[in-house]
Structure formats: C-alpha cells, structure tokens
C-alpha cells in the first residue's frame, strides 16, 4: 500500500491548525468524533446556498434537487457498505438511534419470556442500555459473551450462550474502549445457526476499514456520520430488506405513509417507512461527500495508517512500567485506539494535564461502564487516531505524559 500524504490531507482540516496557549492542537479524540474536511463543509454549505428545500413531496425545482440529493446519499451509502440498495439504508440521527429503532420496532414486538438477547461485555451503552430496557419490558433475558484477559471475546462462551432460545446477538464490531476487532461474521453465523438475528454496531469500524455488510452476513448494521469525516446529526441503520419490510415503524408521521384515513394508515416504501418527518437533508449531502472523500483516499490505506499510529502509541506506552494498556496487543484484531491508565492517577486528572499541552484525548468510561467495572478501574484515558494524525503527534502525547508523571510524582 502506498502511504498517505498526511500533510496534504491536513490542509483540508483548518481546525487542526488551531492553537491553545500558543500550542497547536493534537487531536486524538477521533473515536468520539472525527474532524470534517473542507469538501464536506462546502457540500453542506452549497446545499443551503443553492438547493435548500424539503424533500419527497415537492414539485418545484429546488425540492426536486434536494430530493434527488437526499435519495442519492442513500445509494452512495448502500454502495459503500455493500448493501443491495437504498431500501436497505435508513437514515437515523446516529448509531444510538439505529439501535433503538431495531429495539423498538423489532424487539418490543417480537421478544418475550424465554427469549434471550446475547450481547458482549464490551458493548457500548448505546446497545447495552437499549437491549437491557427491551429485556425488562418484554421479559427476555440479556446475556453477555465474556471478554477474556487479553481483551478478546471468549468465543467458546459465545458458542455456549448462543442457542435455540437466542433471538438476537448484538455485538460491537470494533470496541471503542479496548480497540478489539471482533469476529462479527462468525458471531452472525452462530446466530443464524440458531435462527437468531445479528445486529452489529459498526460505529468504530466503518470509519476506518473496508466494511461489507453482505460479506459479514449481518441482519442489521449501524454507524454514525460524525465518526467518519461526516457531519453530526446523521447515522445509518442497514437492515436486510425482507426484515425491514416485515418490521413495524416506531416513529410515525408524514413522509412515511402510503394512505391515511381517519381510521387507519398504511406505510410507504423502504427506506422512507422508517424516516418520518423532515429528515437530515444537509447532513445526508455531507455524509455522501464524506464517503467520496474517504474512498478517494482508500479505506485500506486509512486502516493501515490508523493502525500504524495506534501501534506506535501502543509500543511507546507499553515501554513505560507505570502505564497499563487495555485490550489486545497490536495485530489484525486491534483497531486504531489505545485506552490506558498512568499508575494510580485518575484519568480525568491526567487528561486535564494533557489538555494543558493542547493534546485532546478522552477520559472516562467511554460509555462502557460495566466493562470498566470488569477491568477494575473507574475510568481510562483514550487516545484514538485518524487519517490526519502523525507520528509527531503520538510523540507529543507521550512527551506530555512524561511531564504529567513528574507533576503527579
Ligand atoms: N457504539 C460505539 C462502539 C461507539 O463508539 C459509539 C460512540 N461513542 C456509539 C455506539 C454511539 O454513537 P452515537 O453517539 O453517534 O450514537
């Protein structure tokens, strides 16, 4: 693989030039939100300047243009993730809403006592809390596939848990805390052998590696625009067409109906059936452009660059006696982020010192509280990388950490 021209890429992100107290920002909080290149910002501002209008129901030119752009964004996403077509691509607000859509539309209607929902111990709260609630409301049991001491899923335990009672397996593709890349194709196969469905949370996978939902075989797959160089306010739920056809919507209103009388209503075609009300049109335009931008660079090169950054950070942090890193060693099943703790310094304190050096990382439980309980720490500091990060930035992180250590000593 030809390596990236990172300096040229950085020029498309004016925000990376920002300085705080005379120090240029070192942005290593990409697992929370990535930065947005000029082309995406421009595409969204062109939309507002030139063809802003409501979609679907317009006869006039502007509405036709906006509708076309909105529909084409679905086609672009479908093509990007290997879905069969726009019918399988529902735009939501984010990954969290995509989880909730399936939980409400499918889970509440289909689950009951005797069913099990199988999650993993490394689920993000977006899936963990949602399915927990559906379990409480329906009487279905929630079970968790164990994370072993290396930070990987215990697949023997997965084979034990996934059985004829299992209705759905919901698993994170890449852990936002451990960085583990899970065998989601294998989990999906296990689910299918038991006539269960699979829901894959791809919030940390789609931004930085080639993902083909058909190859994985997933029934549902979710991700967010704002973690893949796109805007906030838009997320994706992929679902197999026959499943989405069979599912009832859980949000109702205009734009999603076929026929309405005072007595009853029927639903429109996919994917609009699940997108009532005025959708995120500018955001869809932005997401489309973000995908163009990512593919122009190449998802395999993005993956390679991010893994190189993470490995460089991992190796330097690993060399420090008082740093504990969570998750698997660098390799094919580890993605581009590193969560760690420095001695017994609280992650919030450490992160606040790093901020004094304009190094932006995240401290907290990263919406995986039960996993942190299991790790035996209340919080961790997470450095997460993207296509525009450099080795120098990793070195700045490590240098700031050295200074922080002296401060806390
Ligand atoms: N799942 C994972 C693995 C995540 O990392 C995140 C974002 N932290 C989410 C779900 C939720 O994404 P959003 O906030 O965009 O809904």
Give the per-residue pLDDT at 2.
Answer: 78
Q: Which of 30, 103, 224, 363 for mutating ligand 1's site (highest number of atoms within 8 Å of CB)? A: 224
Domain with CATH 3.90.1150.10 in the chain: 6-30+299-408
User: DSSP string of 27-77?
Assistant: E-BTTT-----HHHHHHHHHHHHH-----SS--SHHHHHHHHHHHHHHHHH
Kindly report whether the global pTM for this prediction surpasses the value 0.95.
yes
**How far is ligand 1, taken at its centre, from the CA of residue 346, in Å?**
23
- Given a cut of 80, is residue 1 above it in pLDDT? no
Give the per-residue pLDDT at 252.
Answer: 96
Of 57-66, 209-218, 348-357, which gets the smallest average pLDDT? 57-66
Report helix angle 281-297 to 38-50, nearest 10: 150
Give the per-residue pLDDT at 174.
Answer: 98
Hey, what CATH topology would domain 6-30+299-408 get?
A: 3.90.1150
The CA distance from 39 to 144, in Å, is: 42
**How far is ligand 1, taken at its centre, from the CA of residue 402, in Å?**
30
Domain with CATH 3.40.640.10 in the chain: 41-295
| Res. 138 pLDDT band, cuts 50 70 90 | very high
User: Positive or negative, the Cα torsion across 129, 364, 25, 172?
Assistant: negative
Taking only the tens place, the pLDDT of each residue in 204-254 is: 999 999 999 999 999 999 999 999 999 999 999 999 999 999 999 999 999
Q: Can you tell me the mean pLDDT for 152-171?
A: 98
Distance of CA 31 to the CA centre of its chain: 8
Is 321 buried (19+), middle (13-18) or exposed (0-12) by CB count in 10 A?
Answer: exposed
CATH number of the 41-295 domain: 3.40.640.10
Taking only the tens place, the pLDDT of each residue in 67-97 is: 999 999 999 999 999 999 999 999 999 999 9
Output the ligand 1 site: residues, CB below 6 A: 31, 94-96, 124, 126, 172, 176, 201, 203-204, 224, 235, 367
Q: Which two tokens stand for residue 178?
A: 């451990």
Q: Can you tell me the mean pLDDT for 3-22?
A: 96
Annotated catalytic residue 194: no
**How far is ligand 1, taken at its centre, from the CA of residue 94, in Å?**
8
Q: Can you tell me the mean pLDDT for 107-118?
A: 98
ipTM of this model? 0.99
Of ligand 1's atoms, which has the minimum distance to the CA of residue 98? Answer: 16
For residues 89 and 286, the answer to whether their CB atoms sit within 8 Å is: no
| Res. 288 pLDDT band, cuts 50 70 90 | very high
Give the per-residue pLDDT at 262.
Answer: 97
Residue with tokens 């939902």: 213
- Given a cut of 80, is residue 57 above it in pLDDT? no
- Given a cut of 80, is residue 268 above it in pLDDT? yes
Give the per-residue pLDDT at 409.
Answer: 84
**How far is ligand 1, taken at its centre, from the CA of residue 321, in Å?**
31
- Mean pLDDT, all residues of the chain: 97
Q: Which two tokens stand for residue 355?
A: 């901020």
Q: Which two tokens stand for residue 141?
A: 């049991």
């Amino acid at each position: 693989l030809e390596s990236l021209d990172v300096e040229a890429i950085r020029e498309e992100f004016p925000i990376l030039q920002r300085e705080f107290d005379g120090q240029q920002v070192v942005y290593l909080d990409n697992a929370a939100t990535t930065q947005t290149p000029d082309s995406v910002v421009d595409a969204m501002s062109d939309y507002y300047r030139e063809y802003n209008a409501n979609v679907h129901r317009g006869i006039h030119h502007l509405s036709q243009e906006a509708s076309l752009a909105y529909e084409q964004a679905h086609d672009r996403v479908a093509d990007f993730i290997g879905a069969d077509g726009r019918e399988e691509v529902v735009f939501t607000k984010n990954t969290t809403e995509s989880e909730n859509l399936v939980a409400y539309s499918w889970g509440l209607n289909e689950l009951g006592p005797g069913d099990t929902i199988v999650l993993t111990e490394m689920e993000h709260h977006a899936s963990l809390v949602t399915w927990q609630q559906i379990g409480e409301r329906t009487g279905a049991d929630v079970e968790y596939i164990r994370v072993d001491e290396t930070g990987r899923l215990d697949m023997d335990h997965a084979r034990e848990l996934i059985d004829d009672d299992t209705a759905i397996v919901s698993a994170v593709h890449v852990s936002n805390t451990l960085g583990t890349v899970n065998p989601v194709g294998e989990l999906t196969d296990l689910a299918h052998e038991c006539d269960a469905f699979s829901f894959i949370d791809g919030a940390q996978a789609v931004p930085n590696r080639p993902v083909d939902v058909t190859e994985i075989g997933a029934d549902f797959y979710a991700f967010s625009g704002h973690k893949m160089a796109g805007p906030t306010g838009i997320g994706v739920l992929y679902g197999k067409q026959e499943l989405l056809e069979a599912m009832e919507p859980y949000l109702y209103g205009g734009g999603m109906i076929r026929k309405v009388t005072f007595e009853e209503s029927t639903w429109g075609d996919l994917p609009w059936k699940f997108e009532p009300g005025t959708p995120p049109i500018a955001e869809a335009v932005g997401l489309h452009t973000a995908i163009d931008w990512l593919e122009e660079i190449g998802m395999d090169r993005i993956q390679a660059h991010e893994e190189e950054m993470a490995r460089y950070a991992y190796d330097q942090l690993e060399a420090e006696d008082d740093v504990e890193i969570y998750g698997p060693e660098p390799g094919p099943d580890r993605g581009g982020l590193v969560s760690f703790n420095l001695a017994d310094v609280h992650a919030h304190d450490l992160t606040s010192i790093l901020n004094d050096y304009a190094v932006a990382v995240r401290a907290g439980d990263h919406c995986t509280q039960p996993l942190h309980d299991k790790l035996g720490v209340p919080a961790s500091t997470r450095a997460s990388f993207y296509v525009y990060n450099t080795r120098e930035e990793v070195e700045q992180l490590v240098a700031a950490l050295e200074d922080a250590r002296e401060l806390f000593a």
